[in-house]
């Protein structure tokens, strides 16, 4: 490959893509990109760094051809710039591949993984290293208030990463964290999540096992050893989820409520088709500052009534500080009970506190 000077990011407004653009810019690369509906803090970060991007996708954005294209995991075949990259054989990578190749060599990789608490734990760890004079390099899935941004290239020995178990790109369906070459791992928690790409808890567990298998012999794992919860449930249960494919952008709270009601109805319909009952309703939203909030409610009695699910989901939305103008609804789901042959309820593990 010829020397890389110009890097173009497809999906540059994403919660990790915008910081990656900043990291590449600080390393001296010419960075451009394309996306739709780029909101603060991504837009303000890009503007502050002098990074230009196109609003919308068009193959003309690839003329002259960049040396490398980074394709975000929200994009897939059919996108005009993705198609042009493939047609013209322009070199491309996923976000985690770029981190692995451009930033991790020569550093101790500390990966924070788990279903909940990754962003908070990664932020705390980066701040501790900063206060300890370690000059950490870090990438977080949200804006860390102490730093005022979601990444830092301090030049120290360690690179602290939030390890996301979601897939990397349309051409790489494995989790991002499998690219991060961990020297140390921190596990916060492990539960079923991302029902749009994982069939069940066992599928999620498999990816975390693969992550552990990447540790070198000198590596370390930090986890809560006194957690009373079993990784594998000892009672039959399933998770039903309706998630927007691309974390749909929503113009205002009213539009958010309408989309949330629609997804709640889909969850109830799925429960009915599978002869399942559920006590718990869960919603997940992302605000404009990239913070993700999950809220759950567990009722006294199981149900699969669409109207009840909708009202409970809407009540949960009011607990997510709707005044902050949530812009993305990530999904609605439920931990469901399996109905026995005679219709009796089969107990399930208690819903954990979320949010």
Provide the residue ranges of all domains of the chain, joining segments of one domain with +.
6-93, 98-222, 237-338
Q: Which of 100, 175, 106 is nearest to 139 (CA)?
A: 100
pLDDT category at 340 given cuts 50, 70, 90 is very low
Return the DSSP state at 64: S
Q: pLDDT tens, 178-195?
A: 999 999 999 888 888 787
Place of tokens 């020569």: 106
In CATH, the architecture of 98-222 is 3-Layer(aba) Sandwich (3.40)
CATH of span 237-338: 3.30.1490.100
Q: Which of 179, 178, 126, 136 is nearest to 157 (CA)?
A: 136
The structure tokens listed for 207 are: 């990816």
Q: pLDDT tens, 68-122?
A: 999 998 899 999 999 999 999 999 999 999 999 999 999 999 999 988 889 899 9
Q: Which of 118, 71, 15 is nearest to 327 (CA)?
A: 15
What is the CATH class of 6-93? alpha beta
What's the pTM? 0.67
């Amino acid at each position: 490959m010829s020397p890389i000077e110009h890097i173009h990011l497809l999906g540059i407004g994403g919660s990790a893509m915008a910081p990656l653009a900043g990291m590449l810019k600080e390393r001296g690369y010419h960075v451009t990109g394309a996306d739709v509906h780029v909101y603060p803090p991504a837009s303000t970060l890009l503007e502050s760094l002098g990074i230009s991007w196109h609003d919308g996708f068009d193959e003309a954005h690839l003329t002259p051809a960049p040396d490398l294209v980074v394709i975000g995991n929200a994009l897939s075949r059919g996108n005009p710039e993705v198609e042009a990259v493939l047609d013209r054989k322009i070199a491309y990578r996923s976000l985690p591949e770029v981190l692995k190749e451009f930033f991790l060599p020569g550093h101790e990789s500390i990966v924070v993984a788990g279903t909940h608490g990754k962003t908070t734990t990664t932020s705390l760890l980066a701040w501790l290293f900063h206060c300890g004079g370690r000059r950490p390099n870090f990438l977080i899935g949200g804006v860390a208030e102490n730093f005022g941004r979601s990444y830092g290239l301090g030049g120290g020995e360690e690179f602290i990463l939030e390890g996301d178990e979601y897939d990397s790109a349309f051409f790489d369906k494995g989790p991002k964290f499998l690219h991060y070459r961990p020297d140390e791992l921190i596990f916060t928690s492990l539960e079923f999540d991302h029902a749009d790409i994982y069939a069940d808890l066992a599928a999620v567990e498999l990816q975390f096992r693969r992550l552990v298998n990447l540790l070198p012999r000198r590596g370390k794992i930090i986890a809560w050893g006194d957690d009373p919860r079993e990784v594998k449930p000892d009672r039959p249960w399933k998770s039903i989820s309706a998630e927007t494919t691309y974390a749909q952008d929503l113009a205002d709270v009213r539009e958010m409520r309408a989309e949330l009601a629609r997804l709640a109805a889909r969850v109830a319909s799925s429960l009915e088709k599978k002869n399942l009952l559920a006590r718990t309703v869960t919603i997940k939203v992302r605000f404009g500052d990239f913070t993700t909030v999950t809220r759950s409610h567990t009722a006294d009695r199981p149900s699969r009534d669409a109207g009840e699910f909708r009202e409970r989901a809407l009540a949960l939305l009011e607990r997510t500080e709707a005044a902050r103008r949530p812009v993305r609804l990530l999904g609605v789901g439920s931990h469901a009970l399996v109905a026995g042959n005679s219709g009796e309820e089969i107990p399930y593990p208690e819903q954990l506190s979320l949010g």
